[in-house]
Structure 1
Amino acid sequence: MKKWYTLYNNILHLHFSEGFYSLPESARNAVSPAQPPKRFLKVAGYSLIRLIGNMFKQVKQPEKLQGKVWLYVVSQNNYDSLKFIEAGLSDAVFVAGQSKDIGKYNAIVNRLSLRRKVVYYYKFLPLYLEFLKHKKESTLRFYDVLFDAVGFYEVYLQKLRKYKPATIVFANDHNPDARAMLLAAKAAGIKTAYIQHASISPIFPPLQFDLNLLEGQDALDKYKLCGPVEGKVELIGMPKADAYVNYRNHKRKIKTIGIGCNLMDDISEVEKLLCQLTLDFPTINFILRPHPRDTRSYSAITAISSNISISDGRTEPTFDYLRRIDVQLSGNSGIHLEAVLLNVWSIFYNMNTKENLHDYYGFIAQGLVDACTDYEGLRALLQEHLQNKPDVYQRAAYYNATVGTEYDGRSGELALLHIKSILK
């Protein structure tokens, strides 16, 4: 049992950490429903639809998996972050768990059968009781996350021993299924590489990959706070931004403002903000961009003014959205960094007054963004710069190692060089 607990404690490092448990409920709710009945229904639904459903689906395509470089993804954003590797390596293939939602790429990702996952659910109750001994509060709150995680490692280890991939490249280091694949790869003696796809938090798991390709010094500094760093580290910038470097916004006049919101933001606060902005800046166009996982209705907000439109994060890539705006307003969101990389002036504005998650990523402290604590301050700041939007992309140098260098816009080249080095 001790061995089981050690393994699954690693797999569930983020979600069963004290840091994650102390986050506001809106952040925790994005992973596990706050209401106990909904958590139970989530487990029941997972059991019936995914565990049992997987048993009746044939998804394997062995000829596409054997000996290849696997690009393991758990989301649409992961796919976007790694697709440059598929273009640069002839034997690279995208791989995901059988029922994992990869957004618009669902139909083209190779799937690993999880039929046998149900076989390992005899471990759930002993693991649940063991976790209760060590992490009672997290276990009671996130037992559905534990339930979901059981069996990934065991099934993935079997798949790796069967298909023997040349290496596995990850864009996620903290989701339970991704960590299960990482630990299975280590057990099977398969090399692993990690490409950072989003901003880092100090509550993430320590790096355990053979090759760690980070965007910049900020990520490395934060990972050092997470624990000992295993493997080789290279700072290579942000490959998914390469194609957009030539589209940096050098306009001086502000014509379009984007509001990027996520599940931690309060819809009523978003509505209040846009009501005020459309009144005070009637000639400005506003684009509201909810997070791709945010399924709440924003129709009442878009009805406020004809100057408000929606960017659908499930179909429009982040950088395509950013190309359409001059200013980006968000609370705690990694989109601030992506905006600044495109020279879009990004301003931190809290849209959740009920919970305190101030400067979660450290963007304010490091000077990446400007910040306004109230609407009056925001209005004054925008008024001051309506005709002279500041250039800001150099602010991202601490976060993106290639900004202002000869490799600005060539991060993918650096990443491929390092990945090829571990394939030799």
Structure 2
Amino acid sequence: MRNLPHGNDRFHLSKAMMSRLQRIVPGGSHTYAKGDDQFPERAPGLLARGHGCRVWDADGNEFIEYGMGLRSVTLGHAEPRVIEAVAAALPLGTNFTRPSIKELECAEAFLDIVPGAEMVKFTKDGSTAVSAAVKLARKHTGRTLVAIAAEHPFFSYDDWFIRTTSMHGGIPEQQETLTFRYNALDSVRALFQAHPGKIAAVVLEAARTDEPAAGFLQGLQAICRQEGAVLIFDEMITGFRWNLGGAQAEYGVTPDLSTFGKALANGFSVSALCGSRELMRLGSRERPCDDVFLLSTTHGAETTGLAAALATMRIYRTEPVVEHLHRQGKRLAEGVGNVARRRGVDGHFKVLGRSCNLLYATTGPDGQPSQALRTLFMQELIARGVIAPSFVVSYAHTDADIDRTIEAVDGALEIYARALEDGAERHLIGAPSRVVFGRR
């Protein structure tokens, strides 16, 4: 793989196709994080294919990719065993008028992995699963308020969460979602004191860039039990990455409900809501008075997705996938850290997070976050054959891929160091990328 020269000519077809897409799809993508405004001007517009940790754009340019489908492709693009399982399921039919055998097999396999979960229901995306968890909590408690961790950026595209962001257009103002500070039990207690008997659920990622402080998750669980609220872990990122059984297995705290997705089916569309039988059965039809319409989706149990999930879980159980993610992430973090120190930018470019889920932070001479420098860094990585909106590794990233990436980072940080001296605008082609939304 060679370094690519600066110039839009190498993205000619890709950019032309992106222009067509933007005219007919709002935002030019079906996920805001994949949009054109999230990347430099000199970046591929549309990708054509992927294999392992490599992707090729419409012009045939090859890249090492990180993030891998917003962390959903953990085993690698077009993992043969997953593709074979899907191919075997296709001739048998994809959707029926009664549950399929795949639903039973996948549910049993999933519940065998996730500790404390007694029932599970599958759907197609994480937002739907988390909102369904909130619905169960409200039904169980008879309350309406939801408390979320202020530092965690996304839980659902539904109104109850999006109204807390700057992209709240079209949503009526309601006072149903509250925020607390992660790792600060006092802020949680303060919410319950300010809204006695009104908080239905506490929703958070068990960990993100910061590890839970000693006793935080246990204390949070104790507060929820004392106050009669439902504890919900969003395991979309931590599930199948921190630990095979998720963050709840890693930290030894079983929530009342939890949601999984992303890595569950190696890029195929499968997410899951799971938890205690007491809560999950509220969405069943076991009692005449049941009134919770929970995740009744036409495609929720589409067989090819469940076949992909079964194959993915089988690989996780028989191979050291999670160990590989941690090992390669550590190798990458150490290499990038060494390069940043050697280039003298370690005070303004930092790798953050757990080794299996690495992010990076870019700050300007004033010490404040800089979107321009972030975009410049991505621009220079792309010019060197690496697409990296994050440094999240997959099972397909080899030592050679990591070494090639560190080499690309070295070149990118050489330009980054110059930009810290004379300004990012002297080196950045086009406008800085944008954040998807801010929190209100």
TM-score bracket, shorter-length normalisation: under 0.3
Greater RCO, CA 8 A, separation 6+: 2
| TM-score using structure 1 length | 0.28
